[in-house]
Amino acid sequence: MSNILIADSAEGCENLKRILGKEHVLVFANSTRAALESLGDQAFDLIFVGVEFDESRMFEFIPLIGTTRLNADTPVICFCSHDTQMTRTMHESLEVCTCAIGAWMYLDLHESDVYTGADAEVRRIIERCLAIEARKESLARRLDIHRRRTEIHQLRLSLESEHSQGEPELNRSTLKRRLSEILLELTRASADNELQGLAIKASRELNDRVSETVTAAEDLLTGQERNQIEMETSQSAEELELSERERRSH
């Protein structure tokens, strides 16, 4: 369950409230002041800003998000809930402009009332954006695990070069236990990453309408994850080789 800020009029929030249901914690703000107070109080996983937010101040508000301490990097999705002559003629321009000032994408939510399956698509898009952020966190965890594994490996190599008995053996056992704990963390992080990838895969297969910004973020993460897997594979091989040498030395 994620924390999501929705900045729009009470009426404009109804579509998102219906679409998201009880799957996430929703915080509503209908003015710039209220929204900035919420952004200062807690970190959000996703921020929605309506076209008509605070008397059409959406373009003024979005840059302010980047100045907040807790939410400067939180993904922003702009949306429109009303079918008006202006929005019908400006959807493409709104998407270009909102992405230009830092939003991830623009959603035309009034289409939820027009064609079957729109709500489900919006839900998938939202989960897809949330999955990107979760993948970033998983990758950061795996990088930290890689660093700690490297430190342990270096300590084991130092012990291998020593000729004293007793205390080094005790240290070696401690290091192996720490390594086992870290590898368990890695297994969990990898499992989380696989689940996040499934949400994105399903959305892509159904050709959900996401912006190039979202797709580019996914592709970048995929490349970074591939590099991380290669590092982890190489690291595991080195650890197995060292374990075999330790076994033969006893």
Query: Does residue 146 share a domain with residue 94?
Result: no
CATH number at 216 reads 1.20.58
The DSSP bridge partners found for residue 222 are: none
Tokens 């921020």 label which residue?
Answer: 47
Nearest to 87 by CA among 108, 72, 106, 101: 108
Rounded Cα gap, residues 201 and 132, in angstroms:
12
- Can you give the pTM of this predicted structure? 0.79
SS3 231: helix
Cβ atoms of residues 248 and 138 within 8 Å: no
Q: How many domains does the chain have?
A: 2
Cβ atoms of residues 71 and 78 within 8 Å: no
Q: Domain boundary at 71, 91, 114, which?
A: 114
Tell me which DSSP letter residue 162 carries.
Answer: -
User: Could you read off the pLDDT of 122-174 as tens digits, one per residue?
Assistant: 888 888 999 998 899 999 999 999 999 999 999 888 888 765 455 566 688 88
Query: Does residue 68 share a domain with residue 9?
Result: yes
Cβ atoms of residues 146 and 183 within 8 Å: no
Query: Does residue 197 share a domain with residue 92?
Result: no
Query: Does residue 166 share a domain with residue 199?
Result: yes
Query: Does residue 26 share a domain with residue 68?
Result: yes
User: Could you read off the pLDDT of 96-123 as tens digits, one per residue?
Assistant: 888 888 889 888 876 554 455 678 888 8
Position 203, amino acid: S
Query: Does residue 151 share a domain with residue 105?
Result: no
Query: Does residue 200 share a domain with residue 137?
Result: yes
What is the overall mean pLDDT for the chain? Answer: 85
Going by C-beta distance under 8 Å and a sequence separation of 6 or more, which residues neighbour residue 210? Answer: 105, 125, 128, 203
The reported pLDDT for the residue numbered 11 is 74
The reported pLDDT for the residue numbered 22 is 76
Confidence of residue 14 (pLDDT cuts 50, 70, 90): confident
For residue 181, the enclosing domain spans 123-248
Query: Does residue 212 share a domain with residue 145?
Result: yes
